[in-house]
Amino acid sequence: MKNLAVFASGSGTNFEAIAQACADGRLDARVVLMVCDKPGAPVIARAERFGIDSFVFSPREWPGKAAFETEIVRRLRERDVDLICLAGYMRIVGDVLLGAYPDRILNIHPSLLPAFKGAHAVEQAVAYGVKVYGITVHWVNADLDGGRIIAQKSFEYDGSDPEEVHRIGQKIEHQLYIDTIEKVLSL
Ligand code: GAR
């Protein structure tokens, strides 16, 4: 059985979908650590409900990215983590983490990459009047949202409400992330 770590900064619906899939046996894996850079984020209570260990930190209390990533890597190694899943972790991954887990970090992004990289992807797409939206799961490298794409799913929406796009997209995200993790773990 493989060990996963999930990184999140906010609500944590993707975290919960992954943790539930592990608990149900739909994924032959277990979530051994949840990492969160936002004390107070709702994802922390979700991890508690699943009995999953958390590392919650406030980046400004550390001397820099290398320092907190060194601590994250220590905790990942302690738990023999095989795969890291970024799930709404709104922070650029630095050299320490990338160097320790090359080609072992996934991210889910709410656009059809390479369109609309970075934060507020859905809002950017709505502002363009996009008609075909989508979700991407990709490997993480030093290029923001620029790593090799593993899976994508599109959907049509002809409107101007970003909240509606988020709602449609999130349902797709949960299944797409679980399916992609399964595929990656079987490689
Ligand atoms: C998800 O929609 C994910 O695609 C997005 O953050 C949301 C987190 O939701 N990620 C990014 O925008 C990364 N650039 P969740 O906390 O409910 O899983």
Domain boundaries, the chain: 2-108+137-152+170-185
Query: Which of 13, 46, 145 has most ligand 1 atoms within 8 Å of its beta carbon, as the pocket-test mutant?
Result: 13
Active-site choice (109, 120, 166, 174): 109
| Residue with CA at minimum distance from ligand 1 atom 3 | 88
> What local confidence, expressed as pLDDT, does residue 187 receive?
86
Asked if residue 111 has its Cβ within 6 Å of ligand 1, the reply is no
Burial classification of residue 179, based on how many CB atoms lie within 10 Å of its CB (0-12 exposed, 13-18 middle, 19 or more buried): middle
Binding site membership of 134 for ligand 1 (Cβ less than 6 Å): no
Cβ of residue 32 lying under 6 Å from some atom of ligand 1:
no
Q: How far is the CA of 134 from the centre of ligand 1 (A)?
A: 13
User: Tens digit of pLDDT per residue, the chain (187 long)?
Assistant: 999 999 999 999 999 999 999 999 999 999 999 999 999 999 999 999 999 999 999 999 999 999 999 999 999 999 999 999 999 999 999 999 999 999 999 999 999 999 999 999 999 999 999 999 999 999 999 999 999 999 999 999 999 999 999 999 999 999 999 999 999 999 8
**Residue whose CA lies nearest to ligand 1 atom number 9:** 88
Active site residue 109: yes
Ligand 1 centre and the CA of 44: distance in Å?
15
Domain 2-108+137-152+170-185 grouped into CATH 3.20.20.70: no
Give residue 93's Cα distance to chain centre: 12
The answer, yes or no, to whether any atom of ligand 1 lies below 6 A from the CB of 54, is no
This prediction's pTM: 0.97
Q: Which atom of ligand 1 is nearest to the CA of 107?
A: 13
Structural contact between residues 106 and 84, judged by C-beta atoms closer than 8 angstroms: yes
